[in-house]
Amino acid sequence: MPRSIEFREAIREAMCEEMRRDARVFLLGEEVAQYQGAYKVSRGMLKEFGPRRVIDAPISENGFSGLGIGAAMYGLRPIIEFMSWSFSLVAADQILNNAPKMLYMSGGQFPIPIVFRGNGGAGGQLGSTHSWCVESMYANVPGLKMAIPFDAYDAKGLLKTAIRDDNPVFVLESERLLSVKGEVPEGDYLVPFGEAAIRRQGTDCTIVSFGRPLYFCLEAAESLAAEGIECEVIDGRTVRPLDIETISRSVARTNYCVVVDESWPFASIGAELAAQIHVLNFDDLDNHVVRVQADDVPAPYAYNLEQEMLPNARKICEAVRAVTYAA
């Protein structure tokens, strides 16, 4: 039966279940063992699995990412935890230039079954250098997959799918969601990649997003419903592979679309989505696709400025009113 557990507990369950199922799976990262995780995601795992499978790494993302890739080439299935995806930038050569390309460059000899996971995005007053939304930059690289869970159910199911995948998978979690509870069934289940979820049905406008901004989309949809505008809210779930078919079918019904993306606007996931929707739904759209994204500035430290910089329900409502000519 479903239970209500925290997002972080769902991540832990996914890792523990897969480590019990497959002895090749191990966890490597900063503070994952003795300290039980910087955000307590790996609480209790060292005690159960021991120091050979839950391994504390030095503050050297480039080093332990490369170690994980080497282990994957040897036949193991590493989970590499970044305390923050902002810190993954110093490992870019390993995670973007090596992991996604090794299968291709080795002529199919070396699959890289590795998961890179950790906290991404802004919203926690961590300053500009600790508030990266890396999805736009990283999703540009062929050879990797990327999942962005919205709730505890998907956090577990997507991560389990990622661990079993034979390709490099980037799982981007939001620090702001770690304590959010949701219904999660006990035992084994998978959430398939490339299948978007319709979180709210509607007829007047399609809103598409990933991860934490979905909560703002649903809040905006409820507010707009009181005005007589019924929005369909779609959770993309995975950026690579992207379920553009579900999104396109929704836009064909509603004739309007707003894309909500926490990334900066230039060359972003939101820009790619808008481009694909314009191509696929050119004859269906009664207005151009409108994007709601982070402002094109470094993330401020001040709470009020940071919140204003990010997508929020007010901005989404304004975008929907404008695109549907209800403003």
Catalytic residues: 61, 130
Which amino acid belongs to residue 199? R
**Residue 58: cis peptide before it, omega within 30 degrees of 0:** no
Question: Residue 34: exposed, middle, or buried by beta-carbon count in 10 A (0-12, 13-18, 19+)?
Answer: exposed
Q: Report d(CA 82, CA 28) in Å as an integer.
A: 9
Question: Which three-class secondary structure state does DSSP give residue 140?
Answer: coil
Which amino acid belongs to residue 305? L
Question: Residue 52: exposed, middle, or buried by beta-carbon count in 10 A (0-12, 13-18, 19+)?
Answer: exposed
User: Does residue 298 come out as left (phi exceeding 0), alpha (psi in the -120 to 50 range) or beta?
Assistant: beta
Neighbour tally for 241: CB within 10 Å: 14
Q: Report d(CA 128, CA 84) in Å as an integer.
A: 13
